[in-house]
Amino acid sequence: AQSVTQLDSQVPVFEEAPVELRCNYSSSVSVYLFWYVQYPNQGLQLLLKYLSGSTLVESINGFEAEFNKSQTSFHLRKPSVHISDTAEYFCAVSRYNQGGKLIFGQGTELSVKP
């Protein structure tokens, strides 16, 4: 069975500082990997995904994540955060041929301070 561990429950940072949100997964088979973002009182939105190909994937708002198969990690990074990036971030995995079922981590609350 798959599992996802987000190593930090809360990450406070100052505006314009870099940030890394860590995600490790365990699975005996190949998986797809996702990062979702949840703003207060909203549903989850896809931030970026890794299905195959290049191990470095990017979002339109400056986030990137790198799939590292040997370390079973999919850490999320941004070189310079904005106040508007304050949200909860969820890492998730799904297994091939499992109908798109996602296993989510517990979430990391990113708090960007001025």
User: Which one, 19 or 35, has the nearer CB to other proteins?
Assistant: 35
Name the minimum Å distance from CB 16 to other proteins.
29
Residue 102: phi and psi, rounded to 5, are -105, 140
Nearest to 24 by CA among 110, 112, 103, 109: 103
94 Cβ neighbours under 8 A, 6+ residues apart:
31, 32, 34, 100, 101, 102, 103
* Residues at the contact surface with other proteins, assessed by CB under 8 A: 32, 34, 36, 42-46, 49, 51, 90, 94, 96, 99-104, 106-107
User: Which one, 81 or 87, has the nearer CB to other proteins?
Assistant: 87
User: Which one, 45 or 80, has the nearer CB to other proteins?
Assistant: 45
